[in-house]
Amino acid sequence: MMLVGVALAVLSVLVLVCLLALVDQHKSLETVRRHLSSTSKPQAIPFHPADQSLAQLGLPAQLDQRRQLILIFLSTSCTACRSLARPLGKAPRDKMWIVLEAPSETAALRWLSGVGLPNKNVTIEVDQRAISAFGVEVTPAVLVFHGGNPVVGQTAPTYEHLEPLLLAEDLPSFLTENPVESDRSGPVPESPNGFAEPHEHTEEVPAR
């Protein structure tokens, strides 16, 4: 009987240890899940209107005349940009323009070829002229323009987050009626059509 009692005691201890291990593992998984959730959602980024037109910044002059424009900033040094760029090759191009930061035009063309993105609707920058003009400091990043003015800036962790912007018929009224300059960053509420509310890593890397 004594042996049975000892065995039951040992078994109880083992069960308790296993339960504590499972609880600890669950807490760890919850922490990872929350981290992934926060870093895989679009983040509002600081930006400001540029002192020059898009044409003066080296982009096509017709972009200044577009009622709606989605300007996407990518970098050859950004791993997340590579993942985002692959599906962009088949994305609607009527409202989209890409600014690719690269150390040289040769490096940019090699990068575009590597991700299968045609050199169309793309401006290659080796001097950070446009991205610096708007105060954008991370890539991948998106600026949404209305009537020639940037009205919202956000990251684009995945193409799934960017697609609603490209497919939207028009901008939400909260953007067009009250365009604002943003100096805040961080997680923001996202409207049903994918636009971040202006009042408030994927891998985000400093543009360089």
Q: Are residues 17 and 80 in the same domain?
A: no
Average pLDDT over every residue of 194-206: 45
Instruction: Note the helical H segments in the chain.
Output: 2-39, 79-88, 105-115, 129-133, 159-167, 173-176
137-148 tens-digit pLDDT: 999 999 999 888
Same domain, 24 and 109: no
Residue, of 15 and 108, whose pLDDT is higher:
108
Q: What is the pLDDT of residue 189?
A: 43
Q: Tell me, yes or no, whether 63 and 17 share the same domain.
A: no
Residue 55 and residue 143 share a domain: yes
pLDDT tens readout for residues 142-191: 999 988 889 989 998 888 888 887 887 766 655 555 444 455 444 444 44
51 shares a domain with 17: no
Q: Based on the domain organization, do 156 and 202 belong to the same domain?
A: yes
Residue 175: which domain range? 43-206
Return the CATH number at 149: 3.40.30.10
Paired with 188 in beta bridges are none
Instruction: Kindly state whether residues 97 and 157 are assigned to the same domain.
Output: yes
pTM exceeds 0.85: no
- Indicate whether 29 and 68 sit together in one domain: no
Contacts of 106 (CB under 8 A, 6+ apart): none
CB 112, CB 123: distance < 8 Å: no
Q: Give the chain's domain count.
A: 2
Contacts 24+ apart (CB under 8 A), 40-43: 40/157, 40/158, 40/202, 41/157, 41/161, 41/187, 41/190, 42/154, 42/155, 42/156, 42/157, 42/161, 42/188, 42/190, 42/196, 43/154, 43/155, 43/185, 43/186, 43/187, 43/188, 43/204
User: Is 112 in contact with 119 (CB distance < 8 Å)?
Assistant: yes
Task: Classify strands 122-125 and 96-101 as parallel, antiparallel or unpaired.
Answer: parallel
| 189 shares a domain with 96 | yes
Please state, in angstroms and as integers, the Cα–Cα distance from residue 65 to each residue in 22, 55, 69, 182, following that order: 59, 10, 9, 23
Note whether 33 and 48 are same-domain residues.
no
Residues 72 and 29 occupy one common structural domain: no
Interval 7-61: pLDDT, tens: 566 566 666 655 655 545 544 434 333 333 334 678 889 999 999 999 999 999 9
Say whether both 195 and 179 belong to one domain: yes
CA distance 112 to 88: 11
